[in-house]
Amino acid sequence: MNDSPQRKIIHIDMDAFYAAVEERDCPALAGKPVVVGGAPNSRGVVATANYEARRYGIHSAMPTSQAYRLCPFAEFIKPRFEVYRAASQEVMAILNHYSECVEPLSLDEAYLDVSEATDYQGSATRIAQAIKAEIARKVRLTASAGVSYNKFLAKLASGMNKPDGLTVIRPQEGAAFVRHLPIGDFYGIGKATEAKMKKLGIHTGADLLRWSQDALVTHFGKAGYWYASLAQGEDLRPVRAHRERKSLGNEITFALDVNDADLLREELFRQLTELMSKLERRGWQAYTVTVKVKYADFEQVTRSWTHRQPLDTVKARESASELLARTEVGERPVRLIGVTLSGLTTAAVSAQTSWL
């Protein structure tokens, strides 16, 4: 894997993925607003909407009942996950043909590192064009592609000319591009951090760039290093073809949304205790704790902490508690909470690969 600033990274993101699959499979939907999601009952939400429906203000995670009010004549369709999964597999198979280094992020999204590619004289832009064309021909769906020298910019680029877009941010353009970027669009800056940044007068990349790394670390902890490099248009994260599989996680979806931060912390501790004893039984040690929170509106955040030493129960709890405090629990109702331990190592090298 090549970590030099001259890497060539492509980010592929399918357009209105679930809705596009429905349109593909049902020609009668052509040109109509299409909403894929749960029934408009208490918990029914929009999974996605096609671009026609988005014109009415409909978007992912919105209650279906609200989508219905915005556009009663839209086609409301129940998700067919098996079909989306099959389409996703076809897309990923195409991507794997263009690079050995493909990192899927979700059903409809992946990064490719094509630094080493020799097709099309190594032109990442032409590779991206070829990928889009092959997806269109074989899967009959459109994808948007972003091409750049790191993951952060490639992903931003793929979102810039949706649908069916292809956007390139060249190495010499990255820094200027980032200066104009609203602070909320930076990778890893969620709603809470965005608000904190704005309080400090940081509204754009240019504002962020005026802050020293030390000052950012003072205000944001370890994440400050990350923000400082993003401000320069730098992101050294490698594309990981084989994602870390050794992790152990727990989560719970509440029947009713929970507002009480203490209660949520207790629930996390309960999950952690369970995980730690599982780890112990298997003779494993973990270095990373990740807390996941899904709010009532389905927005999901994760907060992670990697330690230098293997975690014990006390450390794991302290970390989880700290990570939880970096979310908006207590302020926003929570639908799901979970914790994962990763960065696992073991002294006993056993053949336990599928013990999750």
Residues forming contacts to ligand DCP in the complex (CB under 6 A) are 13-18, 47-48, 60-61, 108-109, 162-163, 298
Q: Which does 298 bind (CB under 5 to 8 A by kind): ligand DCP, Mg ion, none?
A: ligand DCP
Residue 75 touching Mg ion (CB under 5 A):
no
The span of 17-25, 26-34, 168-176, 234-242 binding Mg ion (CB under 5 A) equals: 17-25
- Of 104, 83, 97, the residue nearest 17 (C-alpha): 83
Q: Which one from 75, 103, 109, 267 is the annotated catalytic residue?
A: 109
36 binds Mg ion per the rule CB under 5 A: no
Distance of CA 67 to the CA centre of its chain: 24
Residue 83 binds: one of ligand DCP, Mg ion, none (C-beta under 5 to 8 A by kind): none
Query: CA 239, CA 350: separation in Å to the nearest integer?
Result: 28
Question: Is there binding between residue 22 and Mg ion (CB under 5 A)?
Answer: no
Shortest distance, position 141 Cβ to ligand DCP, whole Å: 10
Which residues have C-beta within 8 Å of that of residue 137, sequence separation ≥ 6? none
Cis amide bond preceding 72, omega within 30: no
| Residue 14 binds Mg ion, judged by CB under 5 A | yes
Question: With CB under 5 A, what is the number of residues at the site for Mg ion?
Answer: 4
How far is C-alpha 88 from the geometric centre of its chain's CA atoms? 16
Contact 251, 339 (CB under 8 A): yes
61 binds, options ligand DCP, Mg ion, none, Cβ within 5 to 8 A by partner type: ligand DCP
**How many angstroms separate the CA atoms of 311 and 59, rounded?**
40
Residue number with CB closer to Mg ion (110 or 344): 110
- Of 13, 103, 113, 235, the residue at the interface with Mg ion (CB under 5 A) is 13
Written as six digits, the tokens of 166 are: 């292809």
Question: How does 196-211 read in b/e, with b if 16+ C-beta sit within 10 Å?
Answer: ebeeeebebbebbbeb
Instruction: Please identify, using beta-carbon distances, which residue of 42 and 354 lies nearer to ligand DCP.
Output: 42
Please indicate whether residue 109 is annotated as part of the active site: yes
Q: Where are the beta strands (DSSP E) in 156-247?
A: 166-168
Say whether 281 sits in a helix, a strand or coil: helix
Q: Which residues, listed in sequence order, are joined to residue 143 by a DSSP beta bridge?
A: 14
Which residue among 52, 108, 113, 235 contacts Mg ion (CB under 5 A)? 108
334 touches Mg ion (CB under 5 A):
no
Binding positions for Mg ion, rule: CB under 5 A: 13-14, 17, 108
So which residues are the catalytic ones? 109
